[in-house]
Amino acid sequence: MDLMLPDTGLLFWMTVIFGLVLFILTKFGFPLITGMVDKRNKRINDSLEAARTAEEAIAHLKEEQDRIVAETRAEQSRLMQEAAAERDRMIAQAQDQARVEAQKIMEDAKVRINHEKELAMKELRNEVAKMSLAIAEKVVRKDLSSDSSQKELVDKLIDQL
């Protein structure tokens, strides 16, 4: 059948035309287009990747920030606690010291008071002795041969009081 027999002229021209079209499009057409589109796709993918990385970085940064804030807060509370403890300690120490000081002062005072008391007593005693002597002298004016023997007698007497 005529339909199934390829015509020589048409075969020739089809080969020429298709070959020419193929050559032109291979040289200037399709590789350029597909290459450019591939490039664009690559860029889009890269951009998406970069966006994802940036997002991750931001998320990481946020985490870091939160961590730092939490750390700072913990440090702050620790410092405050420490300060409070220090304050308490210092107050206690001051109180102790004050107490000791007071004790010491008191004791000193006591010692001095005792000493003073003793001195006073001694003086008083002397005074009393003197007064007694004077009194005794006035009482027993007559029989006062020696002051010392009389004083000894008065001291003895006072001690027995």
What is the SS3 assignment for 140? coil
Shortest separation between residue 48's beta carbon and another protein, angstroms: 14
Of residues 23 and 109, the one with the C-beta less far from another protein: 23
Residues 122-141 that bind another protein (CB under 8 A): none
Residues 16-35 that bind another protein (CB under 8 A): 17-18, 20-22, 24-26, 28-34
DSSP 3: G
Contact flag: residue 3 with another protein (CB under 8 A): yes
Return all residues near 137 (Cβ < 8 A) that are at least 6 apart: 144, 150
Shortest separation between residue 23's beta carbon and another protein, angstroms: 9
CA distance 60 to 54: 9
Return all residues near 150 (Cβ < 8 A) that are at least 6 apart: 133, 136, 137, 140, 144
* One-letter amino acid of 140: V
Shortest separation between residue 10's beta carbon and another protein, angstroms: 4
Of residues 47 and 103, the one with the C-beta less far from another protein: 47
Cβ atoms within 10 A of the Cβ of 31, count?
A: 11
Question: How many residues form the binding site for another protein (CB under 8 A)?
Answer: 34
CA distance 19 to 27: 12
Contact flag: residue 45 with another protein (CB under 8 A): no
Which region among 8-16, 84-92, 111-119, 126-134 touches another protein (by CB under 8 A)?
8-16
Please give the residue ranges that form the binding site for another protein (CB under 8 A).
2-15, 17-18, 20-22, 24-26, 28-34, 36-37, 39-40, 43
